[in-house]
Structure 1
């Protein structure tokens, strides 16, 4: 049941009045809370029965303070209990007992999993515009960062074994466990272990275990698929089991199962959290979990106005269009967007330019891994459609393709390159041919 804020002032509260400056963050926040927040706004998030909670006005205001001051939930618990300035900003009395960290976490989850949280966010953005936070010089930046998953990465054996156990728990719930006992070859799925105990240094034992697990998993999947009226949660579980059973293996023509080399595309890495993925921000920075893409706005880009989270293997720029649309729904029109070269989606850029959004996107640096000339060493005239090599040879290309941002390859003849003094810096080909420049 929703709690009510205690606004009854005591003698000690009167003592505090006037001691906190009217231009301070705490006084301005207190004034904003009085004018904009009330319990009725949050009522749909709470039941009308049961034990009364702390007022969501206090917890939402506490979240704003956390955003400004960088407090963790535990730090906010202490500050709301002992700091008079924080209590003043919360509109709470001086004898307020504070907000515990568990309540903060619970209310945050309720708020931001609901439409109410989005409505309050949009309202806050609108008010920020009114006070000049979003002005003509506001800075909109798009970028991404990695998020580590909270679940441990699992190997193939563990995932299949735990996936079978997961499906069996669903079958037991729906009173289907008797059928499973006739299908499965292994009998250790009810044991409280992460994966079977074998001599893991023995390759023959590992191969035997892999084949048993894969065949048990697929037999279980096929058996359940023949049933009628499969519940959605069980259906989802067998789809996951089938995928993890097959993603790392190959079944030969004679029915044997063997591990494949390399990593499967979009590979699931945990049966506990099947949305986690392998990913990398750079060639040296690996991550297992998720990737977040955000658009920030306001003064110095200090406010997040759009966010999308996906598997860590998603390429940067995948959600640029969605983020721009999300920002608009949140009441933010983007005049100019800054980003790195991952966001050089020319079709999207052309589309958004027609809608009034300019882009300032960094162009990728020209490199040549072989150590020879990069395309910067060639004189390229996009208007005339010519490419001049470092030794002065000129070739034509189709300017209509480059205007459509289509890839164009320019080739120089072997006879032009064979006697060139710069040929070792231009090509490693023994025939000295097919030197190329690719336009964007």
Structure 2
């Protein structure tokens, strides 16, 4: 590849495209070319391409085609067809009317190059840089983040189906890679009947005993194949095949052998002996996909975390008038970050990585609106110290018996003197014990009141359930505890709740991502390619929102049903 500027739009192409566009809404592709020009320069992708060989398609133009492909939720073949016949894409790419375009496989090769060279987020970085130069995104202000599940591009398999399909896929790979060796190593005729059809093409036995017997047959055959592959006389490169490595891992996770005088006995592992979900393979084809659970819903695949700007309309309007007086309305809310993880990673584990991602783009907000899954008192303190970001998020309420029952004296009824290392109960008695401790792996402070003080107390039953001992308090370190107490106090304030309501808008962004780009279902296999898909989807959504803003279209409001409209129109 030799980086070169994008060609100017040919006069005839521009004339025809504008004539066609005059009969309807101005196309997104043409608007992007008019407003942003050469958005993705070839030089930005140079490291993913060689400097010798036959000339290829411009990677910058392929990036724009891929973004527009996701904006219309097209397949590779349909996207290549649009480049060949669509006037708007020829205009956006600066192509002549008779340009034949490219083969659909070019898009797949382009994505593979980006993943191989770690450039999954390049297009989002370039778009956000261009928008920062125009003042449409900036550090400070408000942002919000939320996550949703993503289904991997594989079938959900139970343990029996997973074992059978893994062995079948390994045999298919070996039959292609080393057919002569495989014919000598295993009973091909017998195994062809057993492992020829895919597991979803037939029904397993209904009997539990027969299913268990079938699982053990799979286990013995799998161990026999692994022994044959690792035999000293077998070609050494066979054991390096990815499918063989997957088979070995799957068998270690699901089976074990017991060597006795009668020989090796194969058994399936009990459920309690399986590896943790973060390590357990869920498919022989997508080794990054994992089993996930959120709010009682199970799925196989990934999670995506979406961050977007959410400044107040008044602030946005003031900024837009200062920057772009000719534009109509405040700037749109734009996606500033995308993070993709396997399904087992919790939201709280991603709080710090999300802020590192935003800091790398110089787009850290002043206030970050999150749901309670992302937050803890430690994270609220840590994000403020490390990034200067205030997390606006609900925290878990007091979990003590008194706090859960909303009766009696919970921790807030006690006055804590951190300097004197002493607590005072509601009746004025002071604690006699103050000691640092570790509770469930976290640093804590344990405070105890003398049992002789608590035993005759007339309100003892409202303070502790202990029959003989005194009241005990467990606190977090001072800075964390004070932040936690302040956050819990704020949550009960109506003004805080009204402010926090802005976080709910991220649900609309997730809906738009699912409805427009199909983000809920992964197109590709593997974490890196799935993340690449999510990044291109985010850029597509940003361009769709920018297009609406450039055209002066306001944000859609929540639809009001006909019945609700009728109720509002009736006299009180």
Answer whether TM exceeds 0.5 for this pair.
Answer: yes
- Decide which of 247, 267, 285 is 1:241's aligned counterpart: 247
Match of 2:152 among 126, 149, 152: 149
Q: TM-score, normalised by structure 1?
A: 0.71
When residues 14 and 276 of structure 1 are mapped into structure 2, their CA distance, relative to the original with a 3 A threshold, is closer
Q: Distance in 2 between matches of 1:39 and 1:320?
A: 34
Check conservation: 2:290, 2:302, Cα contact below 8 A.
yes
Whether contact under 8 Å (1:379, 1:388) holds in the other structure is yes
Contact 1:297 1:305 in 2 (8 A): yes
1:204 paired to 2:212? no
Instruction: Provide the residue aligned with 2:10 in structure 1.
Output: 8
Distance 2:17 2:244 in 1: 65
2:434 match: 397
Count of residues in Structure 1 that have an aligned counterpart in Structure 2: 429
Report the CA distance between 1:355 and its aligned residue.
Answer: 4.8
Structure 2-normalised TM-score? 0.57
Q: Is 1:265 the counterpart of 2:302 in the alignment? A: no
- Report how far residue 290 of structure 1 moved: 0.7
CA distance in 2, matches of 1:356, 1:60: 32
Partner of 1:161: 164
Name the structure 1 match of 2:502. none
Paired with 1:431 and 1:192, the residues of 2 have a C-alpha distance of 68
Q: Is the CA contact (8 Å cut-off) linking 1:280 and 1:287 kept in structure 2?
A: yes
| In 2, Cα distance between equivalents of 1:379 and 1:96 | 80
Indicate the residue corresponding to 1:327 in structure 2. 358
Give the CA deviation at 1:365. 2.2
Structure 1 residues 35, 212: CA separation in 2 closer, same or farther (over 3 Å shift)? Answer: closer
The one of the two structures with greater contact order (alpha-carbon pairs below 8 A, sep at least 6) is: 2
Tell me the equivalent position of 1:224: 229
**Alpha-carbon shift at residue 168 of structure 1 (Å):** 2.8
CA contact (8 A) 2:300 2:343 kept: yes
Deviation at 1:291, TM superposition (A): 1.5
Q: Which runs of 5+ in 1 are unaligned?
A: none
Root-mean-square deviation (Å): 5.3
SS of 1:215's equivalent?
helix
Q: CA deviation at 1:312?
A: 0.6
TM-aligned CA distance change 1:188 to 1:375, over 3 Å: farther
SS at match of 1:176: helix
Write out aligned runs for 1:420-431 (5 A): none
**Aligned ranges 1:262-341 → 2 under 5 Å:** 264-266=275-277, 267-282=280-295, 284-297=296-309, 302-329=333-360, 331-334=361-364, 336=366, 338=368, 339-341=370-372
Q: 1:269 to 1:48 in 2, by over 3 A?
A: same
Contact 1:42 1:56 in 2 (8 A): yes
Corresponding residue SS for 2:164: helix
Is 2:74 aligned against 1:73? yes
Q: CA distance change for structure 1 residues 105 and 377 in 2, over 3 Å: closer, same or farther?
A: farther
**Which residue is equivalent to 2:390?**
359
Deviations 1:93-112 (A, max 9, x none): 89689989958964873685
Deviation larger for 206-215 or 416-425: 416-425
- Give ranges in structure 2 of 5+ residues lacking alignment: 313-331, 482-572
In the alignment, the residues of structure 1 paired with residue 29 and residue 142 of structure 2 have an alpha-carbon distance, to the nearest angstrom, of 26
For 2:174 and 2:81, how far apart are their aligned partners in 1? 47
Using the alignment, how far apart are the partners of 2:89 and 2:170 within structure 1? 50
Contact 2:291–2:299, Cα closer than 8 Å, also in 1: yes
